[in-house]
Structures are given as C-alpha cells and as structure tokens.
C-alpha cells in the first residue's frame, strides 16, 4: 500500500508544497502545527484517483474555495450593484440568478411574463441588459456562474459578446453555465424544449467551449434541485451521476472524445443538516464518478475523472418560523461542504424562506463562509475527517447504494428514459412524502417548526426587515425592450432569425449563430421563439 511519503514524492510537487506551507496559521491556537494531510486510509491521498480525499493535493492549504453568493433581482442595474457590493465584502466569484421569464427564454414583454419580471432573479432580454449586468466587473479577473438551463446557450452567447466588448478574449473567461436540462425534467420544472433537442444544445456548448473557452465549465450537473425536490442524499448522488452519464454518452455519440470535454464538466450539490452524512456524500460522489469515468468511459486524463463541485446550503431546510435559527443551519451545512471538499460555495441567507435576502442577511451569509475559512481551523489540513470510522463507513455505504440505483437506471435504458417514463420523478416524490410524514409525526424534529415553537421573530423580538422588488421594474423592462427594438436594424434582425432557424434545422453547432444573433440585436425571447418553432415544447408525463 502506498504511504504518505510515496504521495509526497510522486504527487506533491515542490511548488505546491511551498504554496501549501506559506501561511503561518496552519496550527492550532496553542501552536500545534498541522501537516498537509494525515493518514493513508486505503492508500488514497488527495489529488489522486479516485479522489475520495479531494481533487487537489493541497486543497484549501493553497487557496480557499470560491465564495460565490447566488444573487440577482429586478433590473440588470440593481443586480450589478448587489454584485459589486458583495465583491467589496470579500466575495470571490459571481453567481447570477435569472428571473423566470429569462429562464424560460421569454422576453420581459411576453404576455406570459406578466407579474414575474425581476421577481426571483434578474431580467435579461438583450445585449444591453447583459452589458449593464456586468458593468465595471472585469470578466478576465472574476469567474461567473450562471444558473440557466433551457436557454443556457443564449445566455452564454450574451456573456461572450459582453466580454468581447470589454476586450476580453473568450479563452480568458472563467466560470460556469449550469446547462443541466435533465434535472429540470426530473425535479425543477423550468424546461422548454423536449429532452433530445435539449441534449443537442448541451453538447453544442461542450463542443464550442472545448475549442474556444477552455477554462469554462460547460455544465454544472446539479443534484441540488433534486435534493430540494425531496430526494435522499443517496438519490441525489445517484440521479446526478446518472444524468452525467447521459451527458457523456450524448457527447460521445456526437463525435467528441471523452478527454477533450470531460475536464470541463462540473457538479453542483446540496448541503443539508446531517453533517456526517453530507461529508460522506461528497466523498462518495467523487470516488464513484472517478470510477465511472475510468471504468465505463475509458478516460485517461486524470482531470476527466475529477468531480469538481459547487455546493449550496439547503434552501428547503430553512424555516419561516424563527428565521434566525437558519444561521445555525447554514453554518452546519457550509461546514459539511468544506469538510467534504467543495470547490466553491454559496451560503443561503437567514430570511430566504420569507423573501429575497436583504443586504444585511446576505452579508451575514458571506461572513459565515469567511469565519469557517479564517477562524474555524478546518481548512488547515486536507480531508480532516478522512479515516474516521463512521465517515468511511458512510462513504462506502452511500457509494454502494448510489451505484445500485445507477445500475437500475441503466437497466431502464438510461437517465433520459427514466425521466420520460416518470420513474425518477416518482422516486423523488416518494422520498419527499416520507420525509414530510416524519416531520408531521415528530419522528423528525425541526426546531421552531414542529417543536420549540415561539413565533417568527428575531431573538430579541424585533421583526425581520423585509426586502421588496420595485413593481415598476416590469414596465421599465418593457420600455427598454421597445427602445431596443426601435433602434436596431429590423431587416438584419429578421435575417438573423432566419439564419438561426436554418442552423437549428440543419443540426450544425448553434453557438456561433447565437453569438452573431445577440450581437446583431436579437432578444432572448426572439431566439427562444425560433427554437420553439424548430424543436417544439416539452410536455411532461403524468405521474400518479
């Protein structure tokens, strides 16, 4: 069995070791120093296949995780102000929340958008909106994550166009586009096009970014929303990796080589309250994905086998009752993500069960991450819970149970078939029902909800301050759209729509046409309308 000395000699390059020993704070307050990693459990070490102990050899010793608070509301200008505020407070990456019309490839003046513009995210319809969203934010220095799925290719095209206007080459861009449509069918519901056509859009992004945006994560395969819909931790791992398998297979069928695109795949998981299960879940997911990539797909590049993930604390765990209690919940969940080796992290705000977070509450959420990073000591060594009897047991069990579920999905014909039949949705619904019954019977205690109840106030009796989106934002966005369409070249816009329809029907890579379209003045909704015409719209199965 390999020893720690073998790992240092073979994996820990001198430059990495120097970086990981640079801070004087790698010691307890009593002055007891920490090594980079402890133990040789199973001969596994961080930065090496199967990556149970972390994807990088020195993890947070060299650099903390990216602190990326999810934000966006109302107009591009107002969201830009929130991003710049968070960056001033020490946030190290941007995470964009889009409103429902944008997520459904509709413009703000679409009749179906009425009442939803700017409510749960920022309204983006045009290149001018995108310019304003990233105003004074240097896109060559800040990484951006965009939670967008059905129209992910359109929003990525807008981002590329804005970067070009800033003078930033595409190969300098860093960030992620969520682009995970399968979990929309399985759990979240913000789909537009049917699965097969949506998978074509996903792989078009894979192929384009492979050649033009090498540092961009082309997809964030998301277990987060599966867990929010009520799944167990095991189902979260299994269904997420089953979706990932489907994406890899689709890309291979499109002619891509696994080691050309797999290194740009990223993942997104939930962090819930059961700290030990959550830590084990992240470790198990990393190991299982590494084995799938090597054994099933023959990946040779170690980066292709790395499960790099963003974590977000569990929105569904927050309570409207006694919302100050949510600070404790978010702290436990964030700690689980860090102990489990997350590459980036969003911490929810205490008031998100009630409304969009206030500036004060979002600052507290960010400070929670910073306290864990700088004061808790858990980042002083890699995989600090590795070797714990209970954590290793849970890691093994989660991997075993998740693999069994993936095998069952394989027997059905894969994740797309499991979704089209409604099987995956029913599994999540059943798990959610069981969980709710446990709460109602008090077999599971939720503090302030079904026990220890005393009202929805802060600890000293003051009601929480409320954040409101200005209702006038909808009319302002409609006016902006009217002005945008009035000043553009209408004939050119019509020609670009015709070109887009032709490319979509011809099955060519759609990204160059989308970039030309948004630069030429097409709106998100206009592009969405063309793609609906060509691809059709998805109608979900009835599941009883």
pLDDT single digits (tens) 282-334: 999 999 999 999 999 999 999 999 999 999 999 999 999 999 999 999 999 99
In a domain? residue 284: yes
> How high is the pLDDT of residue 262?
97
Which structural domain, as residue segments, surrounds residue 348?
64-440
Percentage of residues in the chain having pLDDT higher than 90: 88
In a domain? residue 383: yes
Q: Find the CATH number of the domain harbouring 80.
A: 3.20.20.240
Q: What is the pLDDT of residues 504-533, one digit of tens each?
A: 999 899 999 999 999 999 999 999 999 999
In a domain? residue 256: yes
Mean pLDDT of 194-217: 96
In a domain? residue 424: yes
In a domain? residue 431: yes
Q: What is the pLDDT of residues 452-496, one digit of tens each?
A: 998 544 444 556 777 778 889 999 999 999 999 999 999 999 999
Question: Mean pLDDT lowest for which of 21-35, 131-145, 371-385?
Answer: 21-35
Q: What is the pLDDT of residues 158-171, one digit of tens each?
A: 999 999 999 999 99
Please give the Cα distance from 318 to 108 (Å, whole number): 30
User: Of 240, 252, 232, 250, whose CA–CA distance to 288 is shortest?
Assistant: 240
Inform me whether the pLDDT recorded for 537 exceeds 90: yes
Q: How far is CA 186 from CA 192, 235, 315, 366, 425, in A?
A: 13, 12, 18, 30, 5
- One DSSP character per residue, 368-401 reads HHHHHHHHS-TTSSBSTTTT-HHHHHHHHHHHHH
In a domain? residue 534: no
> How high is the pLDDT of residue 544?
54
Mean pLDDT of 68-82: 95
Q: Strands of 70-71's sheet, edge to edge?
A: 70-71, 94-97, 144-147, 175-177, 216-217
Report the domain count for the chain: 1
Mean pLDDT of 232-241: 98
In a domain? residue 17: no
Please give the Cα distance from 526 to 258 (Å, whole number): 34
Do β-strands 309-313 and 344-346 pair in parallel, antiparallel, or remain unpaired? parallel
Q: What is the pTM of this model?
A: 0.94
Mean pLDDT of 438-445: 97
In a domain? residue 524: no
Inform me whether the pLDDT recorded for 7 exceeds 90: no
Question: Mean pLDDT lowest for which of 47-51, 362-366, 539-543?
Answer: 539-543
Q: Which residues on neighbouring strands pair with residue 67, listed in sequence order?
A: 345
Mean pLDDT of 45-51: 95
> How high is the pLDDT of residue 460?
46
Q: What is the pLDDT of residues 249-267, one digit of tens each?
A: 999 999 999 999 999 999 9
Q: Which residues on neighbouring strands pair with residue 98, listed in sequence order?
A: 122
């Amino acid at each position: 069995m390999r020893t720690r000395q073998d790992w240092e000699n073979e994996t820990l390059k001198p430059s990495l070791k120097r970086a990981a020993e640079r801070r004087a704070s790698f010691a307890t307050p009593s002055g007891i120093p920490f090594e980079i990693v402890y133990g040789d459990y199973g001969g596994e070490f961080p930065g090496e296949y199967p990556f149970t102990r972390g994807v990088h050899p020195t993890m947070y010793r060299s650099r903390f995780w990216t602190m990326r608070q999810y934000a966006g509301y109302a107009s591009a200008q107002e969201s830009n102000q929130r991003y710049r505020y968070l960056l001033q407070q020490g946030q190290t990456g941007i995470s964009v929340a889009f409103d429902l019309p944008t997520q459904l490839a509709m413009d703000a003046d679409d009749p179906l958008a009425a009442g939803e513009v700017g409510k749960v995210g920022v309204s983006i319809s045009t290149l001018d909106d995108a310019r304003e969203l990233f105003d004074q934010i240097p896109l060559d220095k800040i990484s951006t994550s965009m939670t967008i799925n059905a129209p992910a290719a359109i929003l990525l095209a807008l981002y590329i166009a804005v970067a070009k206007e800033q003078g930033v080459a595409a190969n300098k861009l860093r960030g992620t586009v969520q682009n995970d449509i399968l979990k929309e069918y399985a759990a979240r519901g913000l789909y537009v096009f049917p699965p097969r056509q949506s998978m074509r859009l996903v792989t078009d992004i894979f192929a384009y970014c492979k050649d033009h945006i090498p540092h961009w994560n082309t997809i964030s395969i998301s277990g987060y929303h599966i867990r929010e819909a009520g799944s167990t931790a095991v189902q979260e791992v299994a269904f997420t990796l089953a979706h990932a398998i489907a994406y890899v297979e689709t890309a291979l069928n499109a002619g891509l080589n696994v080691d050309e695109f797999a290194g740009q795949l990223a993942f997104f998981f939930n962090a819930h309250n059961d700290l030990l299960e959550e830590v084990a879940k992240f470790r198990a997911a990393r190991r299982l994905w590494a084995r799938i990539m090597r054994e099933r797909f023959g990946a040779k590049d170690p980066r292709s086998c790395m499960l790099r993930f963003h974590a977000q604390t569990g929105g569904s765990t927050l309570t409207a009752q006694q919302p100050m209690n949510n600070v404790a919940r978010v702290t436990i969940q964030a700690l689980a993500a860090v102990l489990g080796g997350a590459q980036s992290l969003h911490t929810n705000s205490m008031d998100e069960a009630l409304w969009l977070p206030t500036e004060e509450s979002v600052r507290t959420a960010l400070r929670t991450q910073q306290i864990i990073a700088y004061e808790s000591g858990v980042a002083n060594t890699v995989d600090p819970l590795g070797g714990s009897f209970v954590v290793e047991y849970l890691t093994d069990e989660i991997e075993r149970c998740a693999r069994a579920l993936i095998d069952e999905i394989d027997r059905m014909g894969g994740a797309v078939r499991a979704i089209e039949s409604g099987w995956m949705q029913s599994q999540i619904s059943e798990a959610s029902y069981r969980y709710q019954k446990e709460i109602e019977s008090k077999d599971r205690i939720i503090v302030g909800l079904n026990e220890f109840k005393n009202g929805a106030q802060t600890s000293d009796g003051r009601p929480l301050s409320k954040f409101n989106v200005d209702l006038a934002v909808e009319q302002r966005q409609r006016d902006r759209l009217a002005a945008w369409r009035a000043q553009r070249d209408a004939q050119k816009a019509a020609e670009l729509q015709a070109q887009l329809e032709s490319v979509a029907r011809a099955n060519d890579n759609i990204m160059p046409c989308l970039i030309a379209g948004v630069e030429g003045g097409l709106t998100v909704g206009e592009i969405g309308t063309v793609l609906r015409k060509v691809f059709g719209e998805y109608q979900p199965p009835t599941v009883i």
